[in-house]
Amino acid sequence: MNFAQRQADPRRHLVGMAVVVLFHVLVVYALVTGLAKRVVEVIRAPIETKVIEEIKKPPPPPEVVLPPPPKLEAPPPPFIPPPEIQIATPPPPQPTITATTPTPPPAPVTIAPAPPPVVAAAPAPAPPAPVSAGVVCSNFSTVMGDVAYPREAQRAGIERGEALIQFTLSPTGEVKDIKVIRASHQIFARNSVRIVGEYKCQPQGREVTVQVPFGYKLQ
Protein backbone atom coordinates (compact mmCIF):
# COMPACT_ATOMS: atom_id res chain seq x y z
CA MET A 1 0.00 0.00 0.00
CA ASN A 2 1.37 3.40 -1.02
CA PHE A 3 1.16 6.82 0.62
CA ALA A 4 -1.82 7.96 -1.40
CA GLN A 5 -3.87 5.01 -0.30
CA ARG A 6 -3.03 5.65 3.38
CA GLN A 7 -4.16 9.28 3.10
CA ALA A 8 -7.47 8.28 1.55
CA ASP A 9 -8.34 5.86 4.40
CA PRO A 10 -11.44 7.36 6.19
CA ARG A 11 -10.96 5.31 9.37
CA ARG A 12 -7.87 7.23 10.36
CA HIS A 13 -9.73 10.52 10.01
CA LEU A 14 -12.54 9.28 12.23
CA VAL A 15 -10.19 8.30 15.04
CA GLY A 16 -8.49 11.67 14.97
CA MET A 17 -11.74 13.58 15.05
CA ALA A 18 -12.99 11.45 17.95
CA VAL A 19 -9.90 12.30 19.99
CA VAL A 20 -10.29 16.04 19.34
CA VAL A 21 -13.97 15.99 20.27
CA LEU A 22 -13.22 14.07 23.50
CA PHE A 23 -10.54 16.59 24.46
CA HIS A 24 -12.97 19.52 23.98
CA VAL A 25 -15.61 17.75 26.03
CA LEU A 26 -13.18 17.34 28.92
CA VAL A 27 -12.22 21.03 28.77
CA VAL A 28 -15.85 22.12 28.84
CA TYR A 29 -16.57 19.78 31.73
CA ALA A 30 -13.70 21.22 33.69
CA LEU A 31 -14.87 24.76 33.16
CA VAL A 32 -18.46 23.89 34.15
CA THR A 33 -17.54 21.99 37.33
CA GLY A 34 -14.92 24.54 38.49
CA LEU A 35 -12.06 22.08 38.41
CA ALA A 36 -9.85 24.66 36.75
CA LYS A 37 -10.40 27.14 39.59
CA ARG A 38 -9.39 24.55 42.15
CA VAL A 39 -6.20 23.89 40.29
CA VAL A 40 -5.48 27.61 40.18
CA GLU A 41 -6.28 27.98 43.86
CA VAL A 42 -3.92 25.16 44.72
CA ILE A 43 -1.21 26.74 42.74
CA ARG A 44 -1.89 30.21 44.21
CA ALA A 45 -1.85 29.03 47.81
CA PRO A 46 0.88 30.77 49.82
CA ILE A 47 4.07 28.90 50.18
CA GLU A 48 5.24 28.76 53.74
CA THR A 49 8.98 28.95 54.19
CA LYS A 50 10.73 28.04 57.39
CA VAL A 51 14.26 28.96 58.24
CA ILE A 52 15.91 26.20 60.20
CA GLU A 53 18.57 27.67 62.39
CA GLU A 54 21.74 25.71 62.98
CA ILE A 55 21.93 24.32 66.44
CA LYS A 56 24.99 25.80 68.05
CA LYS A 57 26.84 23.78 70.57
CA PRO A 58 27.20 25.44 73.94
CA PRO A 59 30.73 26.76 74.60
CA PRO A 60 32.91 24.56 76.78
CA PRO A 61 33.13 25.55 80.40
CA PRO A 62 36.17 27.65 81.31
CA GLU A 63 39.20 25.76 82.62
CA VAL A 64 39.59 25.91 86.33
CA VAL A 65 43.12 27.01 87.17
CA LEU A 66 44.18 25.43 90.42
CA PRO A 67 46.51 27.47 92.60
CA PRO A 68 50.02 25.99 93.08
CA PRO A 69 50.43 23.85 96.17
CA PRO A 70 51.92 25.67 99.12
CA LYS A 71 55.60 25.10 99.75
CA LEU A 72 56.20 23.02 102.82
CA GLU A 73 59.13 24.30 104.78
CA ALA A 74 60.71 22.32 107.56
CA PRO A 75 59.94 23.80 110.93
CA PRO A 76 62.90 25.38 112.69
CA PRO A 77 64.68 23.11 115.18
CA PRO A 78 63.57 23.52 118.73
CA PHE A 79 65.77 25.70 120.86
CA ILE A 80 67.82 23.65 123.27
CA PRO A 81 69.55 25.73 125.90
CA PRO A 82 73.25 24.90 126.31
CA PRO A 83 74.13 22.98 129.46
CA GLU A 84 75.53 24.89 132.29
CA ILE A 85 79.21 24.12 132.88
CA GLN A 86 80.63 24.91 136.22
CA ILE A 87 84.33 25.75 136.12
CA ALA A 88 86.03 24.87 139.34
CA THR A 89 88.45 27.45 140.59
CA PRO A 90 91.96 25.97 140.85
CA PRO A 91 93.36 25.88 144.36
CA PRO A 92 96.07 28.37 145.17
CA PRO A 93 99.59 27.09 144.52
CA GLN A 94 101.30 25.57 147.52
CA PRO A 95 104.75 26.84 148.41
CA THR A 96 107.46 24.44 147.22
CA ILE A 97 111.09 24.08 148.14
CA THR A 98 113.46 23.66 145.21
CA ALA A 99 117.01 22.52 145.59
CA THR A 100 119.65 23.77 143.13
CA THR A 101 122.27 21.22 142.10
CA PRO A 102 125.52 22.69 140.83
CA THR A 103 126.43 21.58 137.28
CA PRO A 104 129.74 19.69 137.16
CA PRO A 105 132.37 21.04 134.77
CA PRO A 106 132.57 19.30 131.40
CA ALA A 107 135.03 16.46 131.02
CA PRO A 108 138.14 17.13 128.94
CA VAL A 109 137.79 16.20 125.28
CA THR A 110 140.44 13.90 123.88
CA ILE A 111 141.07 13.83 120.13
CA ALA A 112 141.96 10.37 118.87
CA PRO A 113 143.83 10.02 115.59
CA ALA A 114 141.76 8.86 112.60
CA PRO A 115 142.22 5.19 111.68
CA PRO A 116 144.21 4.56 108.51
CA PRO A 117 142.09 4.03 105.36
CA VAL A 118 141.23 0.48 104.53
CA VAL A 119 142.77 -0.57 101.26
CA ALA A 120 140.50 -2.90 99.31
CA ALA A 121 142.09 -6.12 98.22
CA ALA A 122 142.85 -6.32 94.55
CA PRO A 123 140.34 -8.50 92.65
CA ALA A 124 141.51 -11.91 91.69
CA PRO A 125 142.70 -12.06 88.10
CA ALA A 126 140.12 -13.41 85.67
CA PRO A 127 140.86 -16.86 84.33
CA PRO A 128 142.30 -16.82 80.84
CA ALA A 129 139.88 -17.33 78.01
CA PRO A 130 139.75 -20.84 76.51
CA VAL A 131 141.89 -21.35 73.41
CA SER A 132 141.04 -23.31 70.29
CA ALA A 133 142.27 -26.87 69.87
CA GLY A 134 143.36 -26.01 66.33
CA VAL A 135 146.01 -23.66 67.80
CA VAL A 136 147.63 -25.95 70.40
CA CYS A 137 147.05 -29.42 68.86
CA SER A 138 149.08 -30.33 65.79
CA ASN A 139 146.89 -33.22 64.58
CA PHE A 140 143.59 -31.33 65.01
CA SER A 141 142.82 -31.17 61.27
CA THR A 142 143.72 -34.83 60.71
CA VAL A 143 141.57 -36.11 63.58
CA MET A 144 138.60 -33.89 62.68
CA GLY A 145 138.83 -34.93 59.04
CA ASP A 146 138.39 -38.59 59.97
CA VAL A 147 135.25 -37.95 62.08
CA ALA A 148 132.28 -39.96 60.85
CA TYR A 149 128.61 -39.62 61.78
CA PRO A 150 127.90 -41.86 64.83
CA ARG A 151 126.15 -45.06 63.84
CA GLU A 152 124.11 -45.03 67.05
CA ALA A 153 122.56 -41.67 66.09
CA GLN A 154 121.89 -42.95 62.58
CA ARG A 155 120.11 -46.05 63.92
CA ALA A 156 118.13 -43.86 66.33
CA GLY A 157 116.91 -41.70 63.44
CA ILE A 158 118.72 -38.54 64.62
CA GLU A 159 119.79 -36.47 61.61
CA ARG A 160 121.87 -33.79 63.33
CA GLY A 161 123.45 -32.88 66.67
CA GLU A 162 126.08 -30.80 68.43
CA ALA A 163 128.38 -30.85 71.46
CA LEU A 164 130.88 -28.58 73.23
CA ILE A 165 133.89 -30.29 74.90
CA GLN A 166 136.42 -28.67 77.25
CA PHE A 167 139.74 -30.05 78.49
CA THR A 168 142.87 -28.83 80.23
CA LEU A 169 146.29 -28.89 78.52
CA SER A 170 149.03 -29.37 81.15
CA PRO A 171 152.44 -27.61 80.98
CA THR A 172 153.89 -30.88 79.68
CA GLY A 173 151.33 -31.17 76.83
CA GLU A 174 149.05 -33.76 78.47
CA VAL A 175 145.29 -33.65 77.70
CA LYS A 176 143.34 -34.07 80.94
CA ASP A 177 140.08 -33.15 82.68
CA ILE A 178 137.96 -33.75 79.58
CA LYS A 179 134.29 -32.76 80.24
CA VAL A 180 131.13 -32.06 78.29
CA ILE A 181 129.88 -28.46 78.53
CA ARG A 182 126.70 -29.13 76.52
CA ALA A 183 125.41 -31.70 74.04
CA SER A 184 122.14 -32.22 72.18
CA HIS A 185 122.33 -36.00 72.86
CA GLN A 186 124.48 -38.39 74.88
CA ILE A 187 125.53 -40.14 71.66
CA PHE A 188 127.23 -36.97 70.41
CA ALA A 189 128.75 -36.29 73.85
CA ARG A 190 130.44 -39.73 74.03
CA ASN A 191 131.67 -39.56 70.45
CA SER A 192 133.16 -36.07 70.96
CA VAL A 193 135.00 -37.09 74.17
CA ARG A 194 136.49 -40.03 72.29
CA ILE A 195 137.77 -37.77 69.51
CA VAL A 196 139.36 -35.29 71.96
CA GLY A 197 141.28 -38.16 73.55
CA GLU A 198 143.09 -38.66 70.21
CA TYR A 199 144.52 -35.09 70.13
CA LYS A 200 148.29 -34.55 70.32
CA CYS A 201 148.92 -31.07 71.67
CA GLN A 202 152.11 -29.03 72.28
CA PRO A 203 152.89 -27.70 75.79
CA GLN A 204 152.41 -23.98 76.35
CA GLY A 205 154.55 -23.60 79.52
CA ARG A 206 151.42 -23.33 81.67
CA GLU A 207 148.01 -24.92 82.00
CA VAL A 208 145.65 -23.91 79.23
CA THR A 209 141.87 -24.42 78.99
CA VAL A 210 140.82 -25.62 75.54
CA GLN A 211 137.29 -25.79 74.13
CA VAL A 212 136.25 -27.71 71.01
CA PRO A 213 132.80 -27.31 69.37
CA PHE A 214 131.43 -30.28 67.41
CA GLY A 215 128.64 -30.22 64.83
CA TYR A 216 127.13 -33.41 63.39
CA LYS A 217 124.91 -33.70 60.32
CA LEU A 218 123.81 -36.81 58.51
CA GLN A 219 124.75 -36.55 54.83
- Total domain count for the chain? 2
Within a domain: 171: yes
Within a domain: 73: no
Within a domain: 32: yes
What pTM did the predictor assign?
A: 0.43
Which domain range does residue 27 map to? Answer: 3-40
Within a domain: 144: yes
Identify the burial level of 144 via C-beta atoms within 10 angstroms of its C-beta, where 0-12 means exposed, 13-18 middle and 19 or more buried.
middle
CATH (domain of 170) = 3.30.2420.10
Q: In the predicted model, what is the mean pLDDT of residues 187-196?
A: 92
Within a domain: 101: no
Give the three-class secondary structure for 37: helix
Confidence of residue 40 (pLDDT cuts 50, 70, 90): low
Q: What is the mean pLDDT of the chain?
A: 76
Q: What percent of the chain has pLDDT over 70?
A: 63
Within a domain: 11: yes
Q: Which of 158, 148, 146, 218 is nearest to 186 (CA)?
A: 158
Summarised one tens digit per residue, pLDDT across range 78-89 is 777 766 666 666
Q: In the predicted model, what is the mean pLDDT of residues 38-51?
A: 59
Instruction: Give the pLDDT confidence score for residue 106 in this predicted structure.
Output: 64
| Higher local confidence (pLDDT), 119 or 175 | 175
Instruction: Give the pLDDT confidence score for residue 128 in this predicted structure.
Output: 73
